Chains A and B, each alone.
Chain A
Amino acid sequence: MFGIIVGTHGIFAQELLKSCEMICGEQKNVRAVTLIPGEGPDDVVKKYEAAIAELDCDGGVLFLNDLFGGSPYNAACRLVIGNENYGIVTGVNLPMLIEMCSAQMMDDGSDIKALMEKAVEAGKNGTQTFHASQISDDEEEDL
């Protein structure tokens, strides 16, 4: 199984994980790592290492960060550069996290790069629009 670490500025990661659990149930192999004001990348690296020690990471570690170039991301880079079974995807959102939790549950042995691609796709597809003008009356869709 691969481990998932959500790393963000502030408690976004914790709360995002809670939101995810509302939909998917309890997640055992996911950790939320937060950067609190006053902390730096070194602190976050330590938190990541502690999280990795707790997780089942046989299949690698997927970091889901909030912001490309931010401290949680920069800290993750330090770990990812030394392990080819680790990877980072930024712009984490709920659809992305849900998709990765369900991929984790299926545990089909996908490598980290395939998982990263899947995460990006889920994150993008989770961004949709709705406006009254988009309602179509395509009756042929009816049963």
Chain B
Amino acid sequence: MNIVLARIDDRLIHGQVATVWSKVTGCQRIIVCDDEVAKDTIRATLLKQVAPAGIKSHVVDLDKAIRVYENPKYENEKCLLLFTNPTSVLYLVEHGVDIKSVNIGGMSFKEGKHQITGAVSVDDKDIESFKKLNEKGIELEIRKVDTDKKVMLMDVLK
């Protein structure tokens, strides 16, 4: 699998992803990798409806995502991976998925989280996972769309 973008955005497929990222990355598939969303059949069904023209969208749990990554059938497929949180990304990385950079597009504010930029809020678990990803040398950059200037997440966490 050719991972053209790994993005954390808890809105998953929405305007910025459907119109901007799908185009600039030239992805053939958008794969939502999340255990909770994969269990939520209504949400999963609706996500499959909103794939931009010519792009297939899928919702899989994390173990399935790893199996798909390892499947030689998709070796040359350009895939955009979407996550709702960094812990899911870490799980894939720890199971051998080669992700070199993570784009953080949006993590909404919820009770128990604190806001680090306009679009990104994190809790202790998120911070822990981001630190582990950073220790592995993975770039963690905050951008809503590709023309935004990259803001390094570790800089704003400090």
Number of cross-chain contacts by CB at 8 Å: 37
Q: In the complex, what's the smallest C-beta–C-beta distance from A30 to chain B, in angstroms? A: 14
- Cβ–Cβ contact B16 & A23, under 8 A: yes
Query: Binary interface profile of A, 95-106, with partner B (CB < 8 Å = 1, else 0)?
Result: 100100010010
Stretch at the interface among A4-12, A34-42, A108-116, A135-143: A135-143
- Cβ–Cβ contact B49 & A24, under 8 A: no
- Cβ–Cβ contact A143 & B60, under 8 A: yes
- Cβ–Cβ contact B147 & A25, under 8 A: yes
How many chain B residues sit at the interface, stated as a range, is 20 to 34
Q: B53 contacts which of A22, A125, A143 (Cβ < 8 Å)?
A: A125
Q: B144 contacts which of A25, A95, A102, A130 (Cβ < 8 Å)?
A: A25
Cβ < 8 Å to A, chain B residues 27-74:
29, 31, 45, 48-49, 53, 56, 58, 60, 64, 68, 71, 74
Q: A142 contacts which of B16, B53, B58 (Cβ < 8 Å)?
A: B58
Task: Please name all residues of chain B whose beta carbon is closer than 8 Å to the beta carbon of A22 when the two chains form the complex.
Answer: 15
Is B125 an interface position by the 8 A CB rule?
no
- Cβ–Cβ contact B19 & A105, under 8 A: no
Nearest-neighbor residue (CB-CB) of B16 within chain A: A23
Q: In the complex, what's the smallest C-beta–C-beta distance from A105 to chain B, in angstroms? A: 7
Nearest-neighbor residue (CB-CB) of B65 within chain A: A143
Task: Please name all residues of chain A whose beta carbon is closer than 8 Å to the beta carbon of B16 when the two chains form the complex.
Answer: 23
- Cβ–Cβ contact A143 & B68, under 8 A: yes
Question: How many Å lie between the Cα of A103 and that of B68 in the bound state?
Answer: 34
- Which A residues have a C-beta under 8 Å from some C-beta of B? 22-25, 95, 98, 102, 105, 125, 130, 134-135, 141-143
Considering the complex of A and B, which 6 residue pairs feature the smallest CB-CB distances, nearest first? A23-B15, A143-B68, A25-B145, A25-B147, A143-B58, A98-B19
